[in-house]
A and B are shown apart, each in its own frame.
Chain A
């Protein structure tokens, strides 16, 4: 029918315009390019220069995808600009809500003495390492100063159950205040489960408190990592897990692992243990450089390369499980994938930019001091008080939140201003991590080429992208994780 125009009639004739994007080498043959909203695309290396110099022919197969993913546009097109703006806005909207996570360190006492722990090895009975009610009250004043409609209060220690009276006090006080405040208020207790009693479980059930515990792997590994008088950490964990699940609900207890030298060759065993105990995911963590880790030079004895092998092996096994229909997620990858595949913000404190310190999380220590993050507290236990923001009994909310320590750290570590970070294609997926960099490199920004944080994360980003490019099914699985399906 002559009434219809041909395809060529609608094709663009003039050259395209570049939209802002970043790029980095993925491997010897390919580049990753990322747009302003953090969406990526992989291109053969020889295509990068023609794209940027605009010598790429308009008939190229790449053009529709470059348009669709907003790397280029044609003059006067408005939709690409509006779509990018919308996605950027969506990603950043969580920032405005400000602090969500408030950590209450109710005691330093603990029944374990883990070599990598940041807390001093206090015996179970000393009272001077406990938070007072006066501190708790003032801390709660602070909590409700946050504008966030959702507030999470997490109890840490030592072992918080050793000061359960304070946990009880804070929960009841917070709920009382919340009648007027009307926030979405949630509670978590980080505990080894070894000291759980029926009374405690009853209280947790009544107030919908969730438990976050530690499982390092099968019994031999877990007990080696976590010495306890009686050498029965794993058994107590397992008993506590059964009890807690029965009392509170199956999903109300989560587990976090800690990685040590001993963990590195045992990726599959550790995952199998999580499967055996009915967990639907695992967080393959790095070893933090804080606390006893550095003191006992544990940190020195493993390096980024070996951890990456551990991570890749674990992830490979988990993907196999998913392909055979088992629902099991690797949580760190999941957080990164949310940033890669959606416009959502996973809200994970350690991987935020601007840094999560103060903005996403704040720590009230047993002695009244206030820290920008958990890492800041650990650093202080080692004698470095750089990120101590003040004292809850002496300083106001404004003093603390607007303190130079916090603001300088946030500003100086901001990746979009940092050398190498500002140009990096993976910047949308990464975090600022000022405390870590200060701890290791004595500089909140640090020199990224020397940073193992940078090296590790970049390796993870490239690995995830390569997995998605090479296997459609893996990409589909990752989409599910990214959307928490």
Chain B
């Protein structure tokens, strides 16, 4: 018997990539079909074969937390990309004395 659940995310608040990453992370328990409709992402979550209801519900909860986490990661990563390149440049430079 398969279980399912539907979640809706506002396109203005969440990136598609974020939902995909969260989906990837949950794939041991469920699969996620993502569709876009009128500025919203519709996520249809379905349990994998052999997953019981409790495990599925836990996995749905984890999926929601993961979406929040990945959204934060996205913001963090975008903001720190330039300084990350600077630091790596310093790390690999011959003189190591490049200043900002």
Contact = CB atoms under 8 A, between A and B. Distances in A.
A407 B48 CA distance: 35
B86 A81 contact: yes
A458 to B, nearest CB: 12
Contacts of B21: 419-420, 423
A85 B72 contact: no
Contacts of B27: 447, 449-450
Contact of B83 (A19, A52, A420, A423): A19
B91 A88 contact: yes
Interface in B41-100: 65, 69-70, 72-73, 75-77, 79-81, 83-84, 86-88, 90-92, 96, 99-100
A81 B87 contact: yes
B76 A52 contact: yes
Interface string A29-66: 00000001000000000001100110000000000000
Given A25-B65, A78-B100, A81-B90, A420 B84 contact: no
B69 A23 contact: yes
A20 interface: yes
The 6 closest A-B pairs by CB, nearest first: A85-B90, A85-B91, A20-B80, A20-B84, A88-B91, A449-B28
Interface residues of B, number: 28
A391 B27 CA distance: 40
B57 to A, nearest CB: 16
A22 B80 CA distance: 11
Interface of B: 21, 24-28, 65, 69-70, 72-73, 75-77, 79-81, 83-84, 86-88, 90-92, 96, 99-100
Nearest to B70: A423
A419 B24 contact: yes
Contacts of B69: 23-25
A124 interface: no
Contacts of B77: 20
B76 A21 contact: yes
A36 B26 contact: no
A30 B70 CA distance: 16
B84 A36 contact: yes
A85 B83 CA distance: 11
B80 A18 contact: yes
Given A84-B87, A88-B87, A420-B25, A23 B73 contact: yes
A84 B80 CA distance: 14
Interface of A: 17-25, 36, 48-49, 52-53, 76, 78, 81-82, 84-86, 88-89, 92, 419-420, 423, 447, 449-450
Contacts of B80: 18-21
Contacts of A24: 69
Nearest to A54: B79
Given A52-B75, A449-B28, A20 B90 contact: no
Contacts of A48: 72
A23 B73 CA distance: 8
A85 B79 contact: no
Contact of A18 (B25, B26, B65, B76): B76
Nearest to B68: A49
B7 to A, nearest CB: 18
Nearest to A451: B28
A450 B31 CA distance: 13
Given A52-B72, A52-B75, A20 B25 contact: no
A24 B21 CA distance: 14
A82 B99 CA distance: 9
B90 A449 contact: no
B26 to A, nearest CB: 7
14 contacts: A18-B76, A18-B80, A19-B83, A20-B81, A25-B65, A25-B69, A81-B83, A85-B90, A89-B91, A89-B92, A419-B24, A447-B24, A449-B24, A449-B27
A326 to B, nearest CB: 40
Nearest to A91: B91
A43 B77 CA distance: 19
A85 B96 contact: yes
Nearest to B66: A25
A381 B91 CA distance: 42
Contacts of B76: 18, 20-21, 52
A450 B100 contact: no
A27 B99 CA distance: 39
B96 A20 contact: no
Name, among B24, B25, B79, B87, the residue most crowded by chain A CB atoms within 10 Å (CB to CB): B87
Contact of A449 (B26, B72, B81): B26
Given A76-B100, A88-B91, A423-B21, 13 more contacts: A19-B83, A20-B80, A20-B83, A24-B69, A25-B69, A48-B72, A49-B72, A78-B99, A85-B90, A85-B96, A88-B87, A420-B21, A447-B27
Nearest to A49: B72
A423 B21 CA distance: 10
A48 B73 CA distance: 11
B92 to A, nearest CB: 7
A24 B70 CA distance: 10
A89 B94 CA distance: 11
